[in-house]
A and B are shown apart, each in its own frame.
Chain A
Amino acid sequence: MDTLDTLRAKYLQGVAAAADEAALEDVRLAALGKKGEVSLKMRELGQMSPEQRLTAGPALNALKDELDAALRARKAALADAALDERLKAEWLDVTLPARPRPRGTIHPVSQVMEELTAIFADMGFAVAEGPQIESDWYNFDALNIPPEHPARQEHDTFFMARTAGDTRPPHVLRTHTSPVQIRAMTEKGAPIRVIAPGRVYRMDMDQTHAPMFHQVEGLAIDRNLSMANLKWVLEEFCRAFFEVPNVDLRFRASHFPFTEPSAEVDIRCSWAGGQLKIGEGDSWLEILGSGMVHPKVLKAAGVDPDQWQGFAFGMGIDRIAMLKYGIPDLRAFFDSDLRWLRHYGFAALDMPTVHGGLSR
């Protein structure tokens, strides 16, 4: 038994002393290899008497297991040490910039159109569309603006060229989104609730005007809708859109040929410190025009004014975008200056919803 103790002591020491995997392998071969000392001892078992074997066998096996475990443990320790060494050498400057990943943006007009759509969809308004090159009938006549009506001149209309021999009145670039009222009612009849956002065109260019801008038209026709419903819808819209707890709207009598009665709508606001705040203060800001749809307009769209009535409104999308997001110059909307697009644009996943909120 002394021999086994000697072997144990010798090889455990060898394991402990092995400085690397190669030295450790040498120790393993010397002890447990085919011709290793422990292996040779195992072979001697066959020549022993059964009694001797009964004691020597387990002892040898125990020695073999013990050495094997010591070898494995040492191997793992050496591997850990080697990895530690490697990791110590592996160093990168993590303050270097990340690989480039472009960040795109959504234009404020698109964003605000989606905001409008989300709010009005919740109130049951669908989105209607119409052509931007429009016949003068849809843009004017059907909206109760006959050819020589002074209101027509006030529209600063762009006209399309007419080829020689084409005697029809020239088409126009729609001066407002109101013609979509006619198209939507003609197509779908009453009752109807739609908004119609889109590009409109007027011959006007200065600090606050661009020859192209965006409007949203709203139209609701039913049996009993009144101007009081209009006011409520606009109040709800403004409250949701400007994301304030309360709004105060003021209706002022006005005139649009396609509504009667007509009202301009002002919203209560404050300009304290040069910062617009909606819903408080003593100032009033005109934000839209509205009214009850004129019976002649209903008729032009094939809706019986004795059966149906309702309201319409129109507001500038760019304008409410400017008000909400503090954007100063309208013309910059269409200039595509990268600095402007990045500064005023919205992230791709900033999708306005009623449940998730319109803006971050």
Chain B
Amino acid sequence: MKFTLSWLKDHLETEAPLADILYALTDLGLEVEEVSDPAETLGAFRICRVIEAVQHPNADRLRVCRVETYPGGPGSAPVEVQVVCGAPNARTGLVGVFAPPGTHVPGTGVDLKPGVIRGVESNGMLCSERELELSDNHDGIIDLPADAPLGERFIDWRGLNDPMIYIKITPNRPDALGVRGVARDLAARGLGRLKPLDIAPVAGAFPSPVGVTIDPALKVKGCPLFAGRVIRGVRNGPSPDWLQQRLKAIGLRPISALVDITNFFTYDLNRPLHVFDAAKVKGGLRIHPATGGESLLALDGKTYSFAPGMMLISDDAGPESIAGIMGGEASGCTEATTDVFLESAYWDPITVATTGRALRINSDARYRFERGVDPAFTLPGLEAATRMILELCGGVPSEVVMDGAVPDTARAYRLDPARVQSLVGMEIPAETQRATLEALGFTLTGDMASPPSWRPDVLGEADLVEEVARIASLTNLVGQPMPRMRSGVAGPILTPLQGREKAARRTLAALGYNECVTYSFIDAGASALFGGGQEALRIENPISSEMTHMRPDLLPGLLQAAARNQARGFMDLALFEVGPAFQGGEPGEQHLQATGLLVGAAAARDPYGSRRPVDVYDAKADAEAVLAALGAPARMQVDRKVAPWWHPGRSGRMTLGPNVMVSYGELHPKVLKALDVKGPAVAFTVLVANVPLPKVKTATRPALALVSLQAVERDFAFVVDARVEALTLVNAAQGADKALIDSVRVFDQFTGDKAEAQMGAGKKSIALTVRLQPTEKTLTDEEIEAVSTKIVDKVAKATGGVLRG
């Protein structure tokens, strides 16, 4: 919402300085976004007189002028200044505009300094209109009438000293979309007095030849009131200077008197109007829902087709206007228009919003009607506009023709002055509260306050409190300590899952991974690679083709991040993210993943040969570290039922019963190729919520059972089929004597061609070390031998393996 200070003063009698007004606006909730104050840019330019202009001794085109200036303003002592000027109209006796040294000249961007031009001193500038950014005129310097007051600021004399103010209007304040509404807020704040607005009806000279009817269905919701009148014999030329200047100041282009008047009312009183060329209206006007299929060439030059139910104004020939949104080109006013039909209607906000959104038309009218204009002002607005048309364009008005009635918006809420104290925490006397509401147009009857018709946003007691507090200024609010809900030491607040999310994140960073936060939406192709891309995960209105689907997994985002980093020359990466992945499109169909990705080598080249490609066991180690940090049990099942984006032979899952806790391994080469990631890439995805929580939460640890007897370690090397899994051997060995065997660990494997040459085709060797921990007495050789035999038997039974000879 834009307006100028002088426009504001049409409605507000005030002596307040601009700075105070601006502060109050922002403080009242009408946030000032921008101010352009000509006094700041053009305040230094004053009216001066050229005492004498003579030819420059060293330049044909320059003149040396003795200029009479008045730095102290009109009536102060004149100061003579010498200025070298190149303008052809610089002459003795010229009254013009002078800028002293130190002035910033907006049109040239130059800060004036005293100078010497071709050997002659020059101490300032005689300015052209272009130098003041008033017009493009640079043919000569500004040439004022001889009686222009010397010493006066040029902007004051020319009436340009009118700051433009641009404020942000929140959707609840349609009343502030008119200058008068803004003035009312300022008056309530105490920054002046709201000038009265008296609108006397204009008597009609004849019945309106254009009739209006509202479809009965729309009278209930859509268009409760439609009024208008014909004005015959108008002259639609350019509007007067003052009106053009106002519209220009707020960025509107003056078009013609009639159009400018409707624009003026839109901004002045938040009363959008429409003028039809009455000669082009065939028969009466009908406000009705579209049946579907109608179309109209609108004033923006575009043709719109209407769906059933959209609200239209039609004459006998068809649609002439999109109700409350935009008029039609065919019945619009032109310079040739002599008879007009002036429309003032109250359109239902929701109906206008729905149609406007569907048609994608953003007009001033829609913007205002969908926020809510003052329904009670429909007829006064029509009268005031009639008056201005008669004044500026002449003509003879008809009687008002209307259908419907002003909708009843009367309502009242109890004003409890104590509520301001209890809700806001500010003490404001009851009389002040009542006075504030009255200044805003509320009617107070006893302790009931009725909001004015222009405040559709006030819908309850809390709104009254808000108005009172807002006008009193929330700046005055003083913080009050909030007591703790229970006294003493604050308790822990994280849920177990929140604690685990944090543990996973900190563990991964400690393991050397860099945390990423990648977008929750990814492209369809990457989605599909990871089991996503379903319709349920699709975003209807994505912002780019890279962000069309909710991610089914964190890996695609991390792989794309890896590819971007590789493109920048970083080939070895350890990235992770802890965040949501989406398995469906319903609220709650998301789960927390902690995903790590290793790409390239495990370390940079160094003198110790640390560099080696990352492999599945790196990923597994880090996955296990995360699981340990989350409190997962030490022993889990491992299977190979991985999703298709993993390498089928080099990846696995760790599970606990039906719960998958982590998938880990190499990524499928096709996935890497599709996402443009180079080099080996291994990863793991921990499904944080699947890690079981401890059944009983207690801080107490089980007692530590220390055995003083010496443990014994025995090594076994087995020859097994190449595809027998080490875990099968470990589990079998473990099962040989659960009491005695403390741990079984794989300490070597021998595979490949050399192994097969030694042990036979399709064979490999796995070496286990078994730690035996006696609890009662030291083991004898015989006992050790017995356990060893059992271990060998168990492993043989489970895997067909034999001890390596």
User: A residues engaging B (CB < 8 A)?
Assistant: 96-97, 99-107, 109-110, 114, 117, 121-127, 129, 131-135, 138, 147-151, 153-154, 158-163, 170-171, 173, 191, 193, 199, 201, 203-205, 211-212, 220, 222, 224-229, 231-235, 249-255, 257, 260-264, 292, 294-296, 309, 333-339, 341-342, 345, 347-349, 351
Contact of B494 among A117, A231, A335 (CB under 8 A): A117
- B482 contacts A100, C-beta separation under 8 Å: no
B662 to chain A: closest CB distance in Å? 19
24 A–B contacts from the bound complex (CB under 8 Å): A97-B606, A100-B603, A103-B512, A104-B509, A104-B576, A106-B509, A110-B517, A123-B490, A132-B582, A161-B536, A161-B540, A162-B540, A163-B535, A226-B422, A227-B423, A227-B424, A232-B480, A251-B474, A253-B470, A257-B172, A309-B422, A336-B558, A341-B516, A349-B506
Further 12 A-B residue pairs, CB within 8 A, beyond A117-B494, A199-B579, A201-B520: A96-B607, A104-B508, A105-B514, A132-B590, A226-B421, A228-B478, A231-B480, A264-B31, A295-B460, A335-B564, A336-B564, A351-B506
Among B21-29, B125-133, B649-657, the one that faces the other chain is B21-29
Residue in chain A with minimal CB distance to B27: A252
Within the assembled complex, what's the spacing in Å between the Cα atoms of A115 and B484? Answer: 19
Contact of B29 among A135, A212, A255 (CB under 8 A): A255
Which residues in A have their C-beta under 8 angstroms from that of B495?
Answer: 127
B610 adjacent to chain A (CB < 8 Å)? yes
Which residues in A have their C-beta under 8 angstroms from that of B587?
Answer: 131, 133-135, 138, 171
Among B302-310, B348-356, B640-648, the one that faces the other chain is B348-356
B542 adjacent to chain A (CB < 8 Å)? yes
Contact of A338 among B27, B507, B565 (CB under 8 A): B565
Within the assembled complex, what's the spacing in Å between the Cα atoms of A191 and B485? Answer: 9
Residue in chain A with minimal CB distance to B174: A150
B513 adjacent to chain A (CB < 8 Å)? yes
Within the assembled complex, what's the spacing in Å between the Cα atoms of A105 and B607? Answer: 26
Within the assembled complex, what's the spacing in Å between the Cα atoms of A99 and B602? Answer: 12
Within the assembled complex, what's the spacing in Å between the Cα atoms of A122 and B484? Answer: 9
Which residues in A have their C-beta under 8 angstroms from that of B466?
Answer: 253, 260-262
- B509 contacts A159, C-beta separation under 8 Å: no
Contact of B490 among A100, A107, A121, A158 (CB under 8 A): A121
B63 adjacent to chain A (CB < 8 Å)? no
Q: Contacts A228-B477, A351-B506 given: A132-B580 contact, CB under 8 Å?
A: yes
Among B249-257, B566-574, B716-724, B747-755, the one that faces the other chain is B566-574
Within the assembled complex, what's the spacing in Å between the Cα atoms of A211 and B170? Answer: 22
Which residues in B have their C-beta under 8 angstroms from that of A173?
Answer: 520-521, 539
Within the assembled complex, what's the spacing in Å between the Cα atoms of A333 and B577? Answer: 13
- B477 contacts A122, C-beta separation under 8 Å: no
B423 to chain A: closest CB distance in Å? 6
Residue in chain A with minimal CB distance to B485: A124
A170 to chain B: closest CB distance in Å? 6
- A148 contacts B514, C-beta separation under 8 Å: no
Q: Contact residue range for chain B?
A: 35 or more
* B417-449 near A? 1/0 per residue, CB < 8 Å: 000011111100000000000000000000000
Which residues in A have their C-beta under 8 angstroms from that of B370?
Answer: 148, 150
Within the assembled complex, what's the spacing in Å between the Cα atoms of A234 and B473? Answer: 18
B299 adjacent to chain A (CB < 8 Å)? no
- A231 contacts B542, C-beta separation under 8 Å: no
Which residues in A have their C-beta under 8 angstroms from that of B426?
Answer: 227-228
- B480 contacts A228, C-beta separation under 8 Å: yes
B104 adjacent to chain A (CB < 8 Å)? no
Within the assembled complex, what's the spacing in Å between the Cα atoms of A162 and B495? Answer: 33
Residue in chain A with minimal CB distance to B542: A158
- A160 contacts B536, C-beta separation under 8 Å: yes
Chain B residues numbered 481-509 whose CB sits less than 8 Å from any CB in chain A: 481-482, 484-486, 490, 492-495, 498, 502, 505-509
Which residues in B have their C-beta under 8 angstroms from that of A231?
Answer: 425, 477-480
- B608 contacts A159, C-beta separation under 8 Å: no
Which residues in A have their C-beta under 8 angstroms from that of B516?
Answer: 107, 336, 341
Contact of A105 among B26, B509, B610 (CB under 8 A): B509
- B536 contacts A163, C-beta separation under 8 Å: yes
Which residues in B have their C-beta under 8 angstroms from that of A129?
Answer: 498
B547 adjacent to chain A (CB < 8 Å)? yes
A91 to chain B: closest CB distance in Å? 15
Within the assembled complex, what's the spacing in Å between the Cα atoms of A233 and B480? Answer: 8
Within the assembled complex, what's the spacing in Å between the Cα atoms of A249 and B568? Answer: 43
Within the assembled complex, what's the spacing in Å between the Cα atoms of A133 and B493? Answer: 25
- A294 contacts B462, C-beta separation under 8 Å: yes
Q: Contacts A100-B606, A127-B495, A232-B479 given: A159-B540 contact, CB under 8 Å?
A: yes
Which residues in B have their C-beta under 8 angstroms from that of A150?
Answer: 171, 353, 370-371
Within the assembled complex, what's the spacing in Å between the Cα atoms of A105 and B576? Answer: 10
Within the assembled complex, what's the spacing in Å between the Cα atoms of A109 and B589? Answer: 23
Residue in chain A with minimal CB distance to B425: A228
Q: Contacts A99-B610, A104-B512, A338-B565 given: A133-B474 contact, CB under 8 Å?
A: no
- A154 contacts B540, C-beta separation under 8 Å: no
Chain B residues numbered 573-599 whose CB sits less than 8 Å from any CB in chain A: 573-576, 578-580, 582, 585-590
Within the assembled complex, what's the spacing in Å between the Cα atoms of A336 and B518? Answer: 7
- B29 contacts A253, C-beta separation under 8 Å: yes
- A110 contacts B505, C-beta separation under 8 Å: yes
B692 to chain A: closest CB distance in Å? 20
Which residues in B have their C-beta under 8 angstroms from that of A235?
Answer: 479
Which residues in A have their C-beta under 8 angstroms from that of B215?
Answer: none
Q: Contacts A99-B606, A102-B511, A227-B423 given: A125-B518 contact, CB under 8 Å?
A: no
B526 to chain A: closest CB distance in Å? 14
Residue in chain A with minimal CB distance to B29: A253
Residue in chain B with minimal CB distance to A292: B423
Which residues in A have their C-beta under 8 angstroms from that of B565?
Answer: 336-338
B538 adjacent to chain A (CB < 8 Å)? yes
Which residues in A have their C-beta under 8 angstroms from that of B350?
Answer: 147-148
Within the assembled complex, what's the spacing in Å between the Cα atoms of A262 and B423? Answer: 12
Which residues in B have their C-beta under 8 angstroms from that of A341?
Answer: 514-516
Contact of B477 among A97, A205, A251, A347 (CB under 8 A): A251
Which residues in A have their C-beta under 8 angstroms from that of B135?
Answer: none
Contact of A260 among B462, B506, B512 (CB under 8 A): B462
* B528-558 near A? 1/0 per residue, CB < 8 Å: 0000000111111111100100100000001
- B515 contacts A211, C-beta separation under 8 Å: no
Which residues in B have their C-beta under 8 angstroms from that of A249?
Answer: 479
Which residues in A have their C-beta under 8 angstroms from that of B474?
Answer: 227, 251-253, 261, 263
- B535 contacts A131, C-beta separation under 8 Å: no
Which residues in A have their C-beta under 8 angstroms from that of B758?
Answer: none
- B589 contacts A133, C-beta separation under 8 Å: yes
Which residues in A have their C-beta under 8 angstroms from that of B568?
Answer: 337-339
- A233 contacts B482, C-beta separation under 8 Å: yes
> Which 6 pairs across A and B sit closest by C-beta, in order of nearness?
A102-B512, A228-B425, A232-B479, A253-B29, A336-B561, A255-B170
Q: Contacts A294-B462, A342-B514 given: A160-B425 contact, CB under 8 Å?
A: no
B763 adjacent to chain A (CB < 8 Å)? no
A82 to chain B: closest CB distance in Å? 29
Which residues in B have their C-beta under 8 angstroms from that of A135?
Answer: 587
B650 to chain A: closest CB distance in Å? 22
B804 adjacent to chain A (CB < 8 Å)? no
Contact of A336 among B424, B575, B588 (CB under 8 A): B575
B110 to chain A: closest CB distance in Å? 26
Residue in chain B with minimal CB distance to A125: B493
Q: Contacts A228-B424, A233-B482 given: A154-B498 contact, CB under 8 Å?
A: no
